[in-house]
Amino acid sequence: MTGGDDVKGGGLDWAAAYRRLNRLAATTEASSTADPAREAALLDERARALARPLERRTQAGPLLELVHFRSGEQDYALETRFVLEVLRSPEQLVPLPGAPELLRGLTLLHGEVLAVVELSPLFGRAAPTTHGPVLVVGPGRPELGLRADTVEEVRLLARDTLLAPPAALGAQERTLVSGISRDGIIVLEGEALLGDGRLFFDFSEERTA
């Protein structure tokens, strides 16, 4: 967690970050709204996937309905039940100089501060410096934003076809992975991702520091 010591040590300029967030809240309502065109496209893709013949979808066992996205040089997928919306306004992301590599910045969602994180450092890769959409994830309510380069599609994948995580991944990283698709997509374990303390930051002290 990020605590008040970072502020006292000159690491994070929380006051400046909150000033920018306040200006963002005062000047735009778009920060809490998913891009309508992209949301419609995702819903259309989801509908088309679900409309495929049932016998084809059940041959290999239980199916996973996944949002496929790319971050850095890696493709990921997360079950749609964890993805609440997709934000397409990267200019509204407030960076935090001195923050951990995992923490890309803060944004506002429905008037609440949402931390936006990078997946790449969790898997031993450098965090990309590019901007892109943000997947808002949580178990029914927003808890975290995942920065992506692109959000590709909603797809169906039989759980039984997933390959085991590669041995090169450490034990902690393996807990975040349900498996690897045959075309190399890392399928994330939603519950484990949302339970990983490295991805959550306590902002209560920083606001008053």
For the stretch 130-142, pLDDT in tens is: 889 999 999 989 9
Right CATH for 4-208 from 1.10.1740.10, 2.60.40.10, 2.40.50.180, 1.20.59.20:
2.40.50.180
Question: Per-residue confidence at 56, pLDDT binned at 50, 70, 90?
Answer: very low
Dist CA 151 CA 85 (whole Å): 11
Contacts of 168 (CB under 8 A, 6+ apart): none
158 C-beta neighbours (distance < 10 Å), count: 15
Q: What is the pLDDT of residue 10?
A: 42
DSSP designation for 94: B
Contact 116, 93 (CB under 8 A): yes
Q: List, for residues 140-183, the tens digit of each pLDDT value.
A: 899 999 999 999 999 999 999 999 998 888 888 999 999 999 99
Residue 56 exposed, middle or buried by CB count within 10 Å (0-12, 13-18, 19+): exposed
Dist CA 47 CA 5 (whole Å): 49
Dist CA 10 CA 7 (whole Å): 5
Q: What is the pLDDT of residue 49?
A: 52
Residue 23 exposed, middle or buried by CB count within 10 Å (0-12, 13-18, 19+): exposed
- In the chain, which residue ranges form alpha helices assigned H by DSSP? 4-8, 14-27, 36-50, 54-57, 171-174, 190-194, 204-208
* pTM of this structure: 0.72
**pLDDT of 8 over the 50 cut:** no
Residue bearing the bigger pLDDT, 49 or 64: 64
Helices vs. strands in the chain: H and E counts, helices first: 7, 10
- All structural domains of the chain with their residue ranges: 4-208
Q: What is the pLDDT of residue 78?
A: 98
Residue bearing the bigger pLDDT, 110 or 18: 110
Residue bearing the bigger pLDDT, 172 or 50: 172
